[in-house]
Amino acid sequence: MPEQFTFVRDILDLSGDSFWGFVAAIAVWAAPITGFVSLIGLVAVWLERKISAHIQCRLGPMEVGPHGMLQTLADGIKLLGKEDLVPDKADRVLFALAPMIVFASTYVCFAVLPFSQDVVIVDLNIGIFFLAAVGSLEAIGVVMAGWSSNNKWSLFGAIRAATQVVSYEVPLGLALLAGVVCAGTMSLSEMTMAQSGWIWSWFIFRNPFMWVVFIIYFIASLAECQRAPFDLPEAESELVSGFHTEYSGMRFAVFFLAEYGKMYVVSAVAVVMFFGGWYSGIPMLDGIGGIAGNLIGAVIMITKAMILVCAQMWIRWTLPRIRLDQVMDICLKYLLPLSLGLLMLVALWQGLLPGEKRFGIVMIVAMVLGFLKMRTFVRSVLSKSSQQTELPVFKI
């Protein structure tokens, strides 16, 4: 039995690697993970509504709870009471299995995601490979949902999802490989521990090519989560609601819970690979041990991941949806060769300067100077635009 499961065996007085001990361990770990995924869904939906509202100069939900924080909970209770409809000529077995597979592919990813140094269900030495394998199962569930619904709009959405997978999975996998090259391991916990120390020890600062790798990963992760501008399988303005058009009630809610859970998963992986995981970048704070240290690490990890989740929402309400052929052009013509070249450059840098962290200081100084220069430029442009007088109006 894995080391992380031994405390359950001791509590239940189960000797050896028994089958029931393994089942009990899974049951004990399933409860907090289920609660965390549900909480992520509640918070993320509320954040999406508030962020979109502020982008559009609105207030968003304000009535249910303080600042509308309980609106998502009220919507969930409403969905519980809705009738579960199944089309007459639908494949009932596949129709019922599809949302389960989509949610399961997201749910299982949390098994290897570390929250802090000691808070991880199982630290697999092939963690990145495991995430890439089970994460791709979502596309199978989406195709099942579209095909089994006996609806042409749902089928169109399923075909789009299958086509997208062919394009974005390759650059996404190559971006993951770049992180593996930097850390020398596929274990997410060991990958994080390789970034201990000051903030310039993080991979995104230590290796000059990891910034571009992160951008490629982030773009591909948007397609992985089917978020705008890559939300073609849903495309509510074209396909009614895409692959889940015929779903109602809690089955409909499960699709959205899986989507927001997947947004957190890809963001957490980005935090582990590029932004130091549970480390704050301040050795004095990161050196705190025990329960307090694990709690601080979990808060840092979740905060970093939620910042990236908010960035995904910001992009959704900023950029328009692109066409399917444009998605394939971007991923196969540009991101694929670029990610291949970057993988070789990352490996070359690691081979020439293994463990070199001082370059991170140069990167941070360059970023600060660039930010200040950009700020000065924006202010000058805004001041010039405010000084322009209105054009004279000529009356005829």
Q: What is the pLDDT of residues 333-379, one digit of tens each?
A: 999 999 999 999 999 988 887 766 667 777 778 878 888 888 888 88
What is the crossing angle of helices 71-80 and 249-274, to 10°? Answer: 140
Return d(Cα 264, Cα 253) in angstroms, integer. Answer: 17
The pLDDT of 28-53, averaged and rounded, is: 90
Return d(Cα 200, Cα 364) in angstroms, integer. Answer: 7
Residue 289 is classified by DSSP as -
Which candidate, 103, 38, 33, places its Cα nearest to that of 72? 38
pLDDT of residue 21: 65
> What tokens were used for 281?
């970048």
pLDDT of residue 186: 94
Return d(Cα 347, Cα 180) in angstroms, integer. Answer: 10
pLDDT of residue 355: 65
pLDDT of residue 1: 44
In 207-335, which ranges are continuous DSSP H helix? 210-224, 249-274, 283-286, 290-316, 324-328
15 pLDDT above the threshold of 60: no
Q: Read off the pTM.
A: 0.89
46 pLDDT above the threshold of 90: yes
Element (H, E) at 364: helix 359-387
pLDDT digits (tens, 9 = 90+) for 269-293: 999 999 999 999 999 999 898 889 9
In 82-187, which ranges are continuous DSSP H helix? 92-109, 127-135, 137-148, 152-183
Q: pLDDT exceeding 90 applies to what percent of the chain? A: 52
Mean pLDDT lowest for which of 37-46, 56-65, 346-355? Answer: 346-355
